[in-house]
Structure 1
Amino acid sequence: MKDTSLTSFLQAVIKNLPMDWINLTTHRLDIYNESRAKTEFLEKLEELYEKGESSVKALEALPTAYDYIRLGHPLSSVLEWALAKDLGLKSEEVITFSSRTMPLLAVLRANHFSRTQTRVLYTGDFADLLDVRALQEVYDYEFVMEKYTVGDAIAPFDGTTVLVQFSEHPERAELDSAIDIHIQLLPNLGSIVLIDTENASEFVKSIQHVRRRESIAMTPANCLVTIKGLLGQAVSGSAVNPEVLERLRSTIADITGSKTPAAVASSGLSIQYAIMMGLIDSARVNHPGKEIKIIVPPNCYGGTNDQARRVAAALDSVEVMDLPVDGANDMVRSTEKVLDTCAQLDAVPLIIAEIPTNPRVEVPNLDDLRAVLSASRNTPNGDTAVRPVFILDQTFCPNVQFVKEDGILSEVQTISYVSGSKFPSGGKCTAGYCVANDEAAHLMEAIAKHLEICDNQATALQVEILNEQMPSMLQRIADAYVNTREFVRFIEEVLPEAKINFVSEEVVAQGFTPSVFSLDLPTKGETPEAREEYKRMLNLKLIHMMIDAIPQDSKYCVSYGQLKGCYWTIPATSTQGTTKEEDKDYIARVSVSGDLDLEKHKEVFRKFVEGV
């Protein structure tokens, strides 16, 4: 880096690095303003830079850059800010990825919608990383590839020119007016995107959205390595240890009962994207010409909902169908209805569902669900309809063996996936994984193929963390459930008029022991609007009472499966961020761990009830 004052500041930041910047996957929402994600953090960081202030206390006081590490985090923001400052770009025009290929896919997606031509200039063996045919035929992207040698003259091009370069070590890029987007690939660390074009703001928005929904930012550990490299230190990234990965797959097999090797990705949405694109690829090959229906609950986790609709928006043959599952809607009846519709359309049905549902924590009648999913249906001309693939998000209950040989869904093509940032890692990393039952084992090859195309595999550190944490997962799930059931029982006793969404004892007997519940607080008012406003006020009052009274244990946070404490959030303003307003849940969601001061939480909740 050329700027010596910037170099000195970065050295001081690294020396005084708050440990939460490395260790937390979900950052504090009590110091997070979503409408100013990253910008507020950078404004305060800039003030520290101008004052030459870099103490641990000053850095810890910075507002949260993003609410969830998958989207970005303090260290990715610091890295992007420093590079932008050194190169004379705006901070938002520098974007890091854990993946080496997703930045290019993000550009191709943006140009797909704007109908802009893309030219990819590349050095080294980048072409070997790309499955050009799949990107053109499955993703519907158009582009031309040209080998490039540094110093070559770059001919004019009517479209976007992307230069992709390998760098053995993090280094200062040289901007060129003939290049619109520069992507620097760092072995075992990720990639850095520099946007230097007139319509930069549009690319920033679309590339950030891909990072948010189909990939992840460069991880904190790798950002730290990259920053040190920019400061002149000799550094390198770590490759995944095959032996560690195999041990992890063995553990996942033991827990899930699956006989197929797990695919392990950089996040839950990374593995979900590989599942989506892999199954679409498989459907194209095995059911050519047929429409593909992604069937998804309209109020499920916002990332799932948004990603499914983004995939459908980019592909003419794919369409989203709603699957109402919560409240007055029954998953079994809804599934039967949409599968009957798909049969009449002679379409390929891909169903995504959470069990238990989120945030209402409901479990359908599994015998009835199996019957509906495995039923044979006919198309209007009498042919047998395409069998559905059931894509099960069982992040809430990763201990339930849905995919074992004689499991409840053994007759149904079932892919199960889990966000590893929850119970598997205890909140220590963002990784995710998926497995299949025997009926769907043939689909895993296509899923693995697209995980590789997107270069969204888990990092070495993520694999190591999962390998360390997963052996204790089943016991942690059991301990957390005990505390959750006791907290629910207490709330029912002191505030019986509240509506609590949690599993019944009958469902627990089937093996479902979640540690998260939702709380619909009692309200008052003369009109529906007044009652809703009062309830929302009570939600915030309760959450703030908890985190103020028990800051070491209670957090305003969207995660669960954590190793310690109790997390509180409101789905409508966090996990359901992109969900349609009419489908949002303005209730309190509570996540309990096996290690917390439960009596103190009861005490604070009792005080809350007394003040209502």
Structure 2
Amino acid sequence: MKDTKVLKFIEDVVGNMPTDWLKLTTHRLDIYNEELAKTEFLERFESLYAVQNSDTVALSELPTAFDYIRLGHPLSSVLEWAIAKLNETKADNVISFSSQTIPVLAVLRKNHFEKKNTLIAYRGELPTFFDADTVERVYEYQFELKQVSDSGDIPEFEGTTIYISSSDDFSKFELNPNIDFSINSHEELGSILLVNGTSNEAYISEVQHVRRRETISMTPDDSFSALKLLLGKAFAPQDKKMVAKNKESVINSIQEITATSSKSLLGSCGLSVQYAIMMGLIDEASQKHPGKAIKIIVPPNCYGGTNDQARRVAACVSNVEILDLPVDGDNDMVQSTDKVLNQVAQEGAVPYIIAEIPTNPRVEVPDLEQLRDVLSKERTTSTGEKAIDPVFILDQTFCPNVQFCGEEGVLAGIRTISYVSGSKFPSGGKCTAGYTVANQKAASLMDNIEKHIKLCDNEATDLQVEILAAQMPSMLQRIKDAYKNTREFVNFIDETLPTAKINFVSEELAKAGFTPSVFSLDLPTKGETHEERETYKRALNSKLINMMISEIPEESKYCVSYGQLKGCYWTIPATSTQGTTKEDDKDYIARVSVSPDLDLDLHKKVFADFVEQITSEDAKEKAMDL
């Protein structure tokens, strides 16, 4: 009876759900409390279930579930809730993945630190891409494998037991006391992990963090298909000929835009791509430079996902260490790179550098010729041997139009790998997929990177590729139009509030091709002490953003997105993109991203109103002091 009630409600929800649940990367940004994400969504959803209210209006008023699609969204949350209800467990105990491999790696990662044994029992065949030898050798995860005919054959085990099975019915889990984690996988849609028993609930937050940093949740479209499978409806995969045609189109666009001929790899998100780059290069180093230490050199205040993921990889792999690369503000990327590469050379280690150009959030571009000279400099070890040359891993999400990896590019003589988050300009915010390419000097590295993106089952989904195929041909024009709007907005702010510090590219850099549509705004502050000035500035940031999103709700959003098709997005990096960055390295400034399509005059008006308000308040304070 309970199953019938749950399935009937899900059927109504699927029929009445807001179109945003399928089409947007982030739903209801105006109702978003990060600390309560998903919890708040499901509490309100549960209330609707209690009164069987599946009305479209009621569903559309639910708050944001998680952030972006990477960690979760309304449809993945509803899917997890429904499966939990049907299996009489808590929704937190059910976690969906676009990948079939990553839920296994997530549990193995936790056990790696707990020093616990793991048994992976599986019915049928393991996915062909699950390369057990590589998982043990490169990721350094330890486990045993056992094929079983069904869950009843799983023996008692001293440690953790993961049971993997494939089924078109995601809701049916074979559970018994010998199973700690049960995974239902689907070749097209991904997988669902069910945490069995309260003793294993300590894994939940860490498994979700793996989903946040190394992969994505099951996508909206695939979650929608999985919900229909729960309702007994057939799954209709996309036409493989069309999928191949879309992929060919995307790769042609990428190679034309980047001026490259290396392999172009498509991942389920930017961090999926970065994870494959990290693990692929570690694999490469273990083969080419066995026994040598690996140094991942990363700016301490760069995008939080990059920073966090690099440190998470280093925590798992015994011979990998993170070195900080100060690049923003008073630090110069060229000088910092020279200094840290000299240090790595002396140690005889393998250097891998991750950097963003332009930097985030200060939007700075180093002197590229000087950077080239530093990266290509021949160095020697402490024993006088020739040092290993670096691989430069470049996140160019802000400026995907710059041909860093082209054979005529300034970095042509340095092993360079470039990657881009597809949730930004490539898709215009319509999906999370990312891509990576290499210049000719680094082209041979792409085989190992491809190996790991496949091992993790982190390739872009068919629909993501379709979206990229539709959006990428217009990307370069959108970049030009968005930059034009951004430059006009920046100039207006500079004239209207000249005491603010604006971080944006110079006209000279723009002529050289660096035309981002994001800038950071360091608002003027006041106070006797640093703490007073910082408190005032943070309050002013919030005041500005709240004015923008309340007075222009159709266009101004509170979000970290960039390269979107429409509107203007606002965020404070220290509380969003730098969420896991060390406190001293965070930037409490406003970051603004502008699209090619927005009411710029209205945004100017609201900003002018903001300036008038703070000017008036300052005048009142001075009058009171007199």
**What TM-score, normalized to structure 1?**
0.98
Say whether 1:339 aligns with 2:329.
no
Deviates more, 1:76-85 or 1:267-276: 76-85
Q: Is the 8 A contact 1:26 1:559 kept in 2?
A: no
| Distance in 2 of aligned mates of 1:487 and 1:151 | 61
Matches of 1:233 and 1:352 in 2, distance apart?
45
Residues 301 and 586 of structure 2 are in contact (CA less than 8 Å); yes or no, is this contact kept in structure 1? yes
* CA distance in 2 between partners of 1:600 and 1:610 (Å): 15
Question: 2-side partners of 1:506 and 1:534: how far apart?
Answer: 34
Task: Tell me what 1:13 maps to.
Answer: 13
| CA RMSD in angstroms, aligned pairs only | 1.2
Q: Tell me what 1:269 maps to.
A: 271
1:317/1:188 Cα in 2 relative to 1: closer, same or farther (>3 Å)?
A: same
- Answering whether residue 547 of structure 2 is matched by residue 545 of structure 1, we say yes
* 1:203 aligned counterpart, secondary structure: helix
Query: Residue 284 of structure 2 aligns with which residue?
Result: 282
Identify which range, 233-242 or 14-23, moves more after superposition.
233-242
Secondary structure, counterpart of 2:155 in structure 1 = coil
Q: CA separation in 1, counterparts of 2:379 and 2:175? A: 58
For 1:129, what is the secondary structure of its paired residue? coil
Q: Distance in 1 between matches of 2:127 and 2:475?
A: 40
The code of the aligned residue for 1:75 comes to L
Structure 1 letter corresponding to 2:57: K
Distance 1:207 1:15 in 2: 31
Q: 1:151 to 1:390 in 2, by over 3 A?
A: closer
Instruction: Map 1:163-178; keep pairs closer than 5 Å.
Output: 163-178=163-178
| In 2, Cα distance between equivalents of 1:322 and 1:78 | 40
- Structure 2 equivalent of residue 229 of structure 1: 229
Query: Percent identity over the alignment?
Result: 62
Distance in 1 (alpha carbons) for counterparts of 2:473 and 2:159: 51
Letter in 2 for 1:100: Q
Which deviates further from its counterpart, 55-64 or 260-269? 55-64
Corresponding letter in the other structure for 2:319:
S
Aligned to 2:492: 490
Residue of structure 1 in register with 2:128 after alignment: 128
After superposing the two structures, state which structure 1 stretch, 321-330 or 193-202, moved more.
193-202
SS at match of 2:601: helix
Give me the whole-angstrom Cα distance separating, in 2, the residues matched to 1:543 and 1:494.
17
The letter of the residue matching 2:69 is I
Counterparts in 2 of 1:65-84, with a 5 A limit?
A: 65-84=65-84
Output one character per residue of 1:431-468: Cα deviation in whole Å (capped at 9) or x when no partner: 00000001000100000000011000000000000011
Partner of 1:206: 206
Which stretch shows the higher mean deviation, 204-213 or 228-237?
Answer: 228-237
Contact 1:298–1:323 (Cα < 8 Å) also in 2: yes
Change (3 A) 1:88 1:171: closer
Q: Aligned match of 1:521 in 500, 518, 523?
A: 523
Three-state SS of the structure 2 residue aligned to 1:546 is helix
Q: Specify the alignment match of 1:304 in structure 2.
A: 306
The number of equivalent residue pairs is: 612
Equivalent residue runs for 1:103-502 within 5 Å: 103-126=103-126, 128-150=128-150, 152-238=152-238, 241-502=243-504
Kindly provide the amino acid, as one letter, of the partner of residue 109 in structure 1. Answer: R
Displacement, 1:472?
A: 0.1
Quote how far apart the aligned CAs of 1:528 are.
Answer: 1.2
Superposed CA offset, 1:548-593 (max 9, x none): 1111111111101000011111111111110111111111100001
1:358/1:151 CA distance change after superposition, 3 Å: closer
- State the distance in 2 between where 1:109 and 1:291 align: 21
Q: Which residue is 1:608 aligned to?
A: 610
Contact 2:83 2:171 (8 Å CA) reproduced: no
Task: State the distance in 2 between where 1:538 and 1:132 align.
Answer: 53
2-structure distance, mates of 1:265, 1:406: 27
The question of whether the paired residues in 1 share the 8 Å contact of 2:170 and 2:192 is answered with no
CA contact (8 A) 2:555 2:567 kept: yes
Distance 1:456 1:264 in 2: 9
Q: Does the CA-based 8 Å contact 2:269-2:460 persist in structure 1? A: yes
Q: Residues 266 and 432 of structure 1 are in contact (CA less than 8 Å); yes or no, is this contact kept in structure 2?
A: yes
C-alpha displacement at 1:2, in angstroms?
A: 5.7
Shift of the 91–269 alpha-carbon distance from structure 1 to 2, 3 Å rule, reads same
| Cα offset, 1:21, TM superposition | 1.1
Matched residues in 1 for 2:43 and 2:92: separation?
A: 13
1:566 alignment counterpart: 568
Answer whether contact 1:188 1:238 (CA < 8 A) is retained: no
Paired AA for residue 519 in structure 2: F
Q: Counterpart of 1:48 in 2: which secondary structure?
A: helix
SS in 2 for 1:353: strand
Q: Which residue of 2 aligns with 1:512?
A: 514
Consecutive unaligned residues in structure 1, runs of 5 or more: none
Give, in whole Å, the separation in 2 of the partners of 1:213 and 1:151.
Answer: 31
Is the contact made by 2:269 and 2:421 (CA closer than 8 Å) also made in structure 1?
yes
SS in 1 for 2:296: strand
Corresponding residue SS for 1:30: coil
Q: Distance in 2 between matches of 1:239 and 1:12?
A: 28
1:70 aligned counterpart, secondary structure: helix
